[in-house]
Amino acid sequence: MAKTNIEKVTDRIENAISARVSQATTESFWVTHYGANHIHPKHLVYWICVQSEQERRKLSRDQPLNEALRTLLVTHNYPAEGRTGVRIGFESQEAVDRESGGNWRYHWQ
């Protein structure tokens, strides 16, 4: 099945987030997203998943990084009516291990 325009934009932004975060950390990480932005563009969450709580805190507090990540929504023409509702968050494997037995899916439910 062919991807819709919003799915294509969402994937491009995920790739751009990954590229930008790779400039801010040497720690292993991955980026994912979920939501119902096909219903309304505000229903979208991107997660930057790092290994340590220390790195999660560092990246979460990095204001220039966070501003750059939000700017990617504009750069990649994410629908304007949903931009302010899109969440871009950070989580660590340490937290998932501690709180959810290492299961990311359970952690996000």
Residue 21 lies in a domain: no
Predicted local confidence at residue 47, as pLDDT: 97
Cβ of 49: how many Cβ atoms within 10 Å?
19
Predicted local confidence at residue 108, as pLDDT: 82
> Is residue 3 pLDDT above 80, yes or no?
no
Predicted local confidence at residue 80, as pLDDT: 96
CATH assignment at residue 41: 3.30.300
> Is residue 13 pLDDT above 80, yes or no?
yes
**Token pair in block for residue 102:** 């290492």
Q: What is the 3-state secondary structure (H, E, C) of the chain?
A: CCCCHHHHHHHHHHHHHHHHHHCCCCCCEEEEEEECCCCCCCCEEEEEEECCHHHHHHHHHCHHHHHHHHHHHHHCCCCHHHHHHCEEEEEEHHHHHHHHCCCHHHHHC
Residue 55 lies in a domain: yes
Predicted local confidence at residue 63, as pLDDT: 98
What distance in Å separates the CA atoms of residue 104 and residue 109, rounded to the nearest whole number?
9
- pLDDT mean over 64-71: 98
Predicted local confidence at residue 2, as pLDDT: 73
Residue 43 lies in a domain: yes
Question: Residue 37 is part of which domain span?
Answer: 5-16+27-108
Q: Structurally, how many domains does the chain consist of?
A: 1
Q: Are 106 and 43 a contacting pair, CB within 8 Å?
A: no
Predicted local confidence at residue 105, as pLDDT: 87
- pLDDT mean over 74-99: 96
Cβ of 86: how many Cβ atoms within 10 Å?
22
